[in-house]
Amino acid sequence: MPVTSERRGRVLIARLDRPEKRNAMNGEMTLGLDALMNELEDDPELWVGILAGAEGVFSAGSDLKDGLNNSTERGGPYGVVRRQRVKPLIAAVDGLAFGGGFEMVLACDLVVASRAASFALPEVKRGVFALYGGPRRAAHALPLNIARELALTGEALSAERAERLGLVNVLCEPGRALDEALALAGRICANSPISVRESLRAINEPLEADDALAWEISAEAAKTVRASEDTREGIAAFFEKRKPEWKGR
């Protein structure tokens, strides 16, 4: 299975496990992750979730060859990006989290990352658009100019810099992200689950109040980009492993 799970007491661990594709998300992975996120929300015995990647990588985002059916009714993109959650979700990142992978991280509430982790919105390098909330959520999680830097250059942000800027809650050594995420989850589970849920709601709901407009703007931007020659060129260059020749139209 490309998405696996494990229970540790009141914590549900969901692992993206398609390392041969750098955990790039396709329809099967989306359905698997959606089912686990439903389990987390619906089971009263579960209080905290952890989203991790197997084999030293978090996720490279959408599988460009098989990534069209990547949205669900409850969770939106990848089954998690637009999910209305009441329980904390921790991203455990060991390796790259690029494109949609970074957007999944940004959809989580807390981030644990190893020094081997890196984060990027590389869509501009391919002539496409980060339509799953990446630019907007990066601007919430990071200083505004850093979010602009990521969105406009497509370059990667190291885990060390991300920790200094406040994106990463816990920085650890390679291979330790899941262990440290479990430790953080344990600190949360030591508290009243009702108090935790309501505290999370008090923080998240005001931030999400303008979501409708933000998603509308993202959809319009994605439509404009998809209709361009640059999108076709960028995707072709990606598969042909060459430098794209941009036309600006």
Q: Return the pLDDT at 102.
A: 98
Measured CA to CA, the distance from residue 210 to residue 36 in angstroms comes to 27
Q: Predicted confidence band at 67 (pLDDT cuts at 50, 70, 90)?
A: low
Please, are residues 54 and 23 in contact by the beta-carbon 8 Å criterion? yes
> Which whole number is the average pLDDT over 110-123?
97
> Which whole number is the average pLDDT over 169-194?
97
Q: Return the pLDDT at 241.
A: 81
Active site residues: 103, 123
Q: CA distances (Å), 229 to each of 59, 192, 224, 247, in order?
A: 27, 54, 11, 7
pLDDT in tens, 1-46: 899 999 999 999 999 999 999 999 999 999 999 999 999 999 999 9
The full set of domains in the chain, from first to last, is 3-174 (3.90.226.10)
Q: Return the pLDDT at 226.
A: 78
Q: Is the pLDDT of residue 248 over 70?
A: yes
> Which whole number is the average pLDDT over 48-68?
87
> Three-class SS of residue 97?
strand
pLDDT in tens, 117-168: 999 999 999 888 888 999 999 999 999 999 999 999 999 999 999 999 999 9
**SS3 string of 17-63?**
CCHHHCCCECHHHHHHHHHHHHHHHHCCCCCEEEEEECCCCCECCEC
Measured CA to CA, the distance from residue 238 to residue 233 in angstroms comes to 9
Task: Please state the pTM of the whole predicted model.
Answer: 0.92
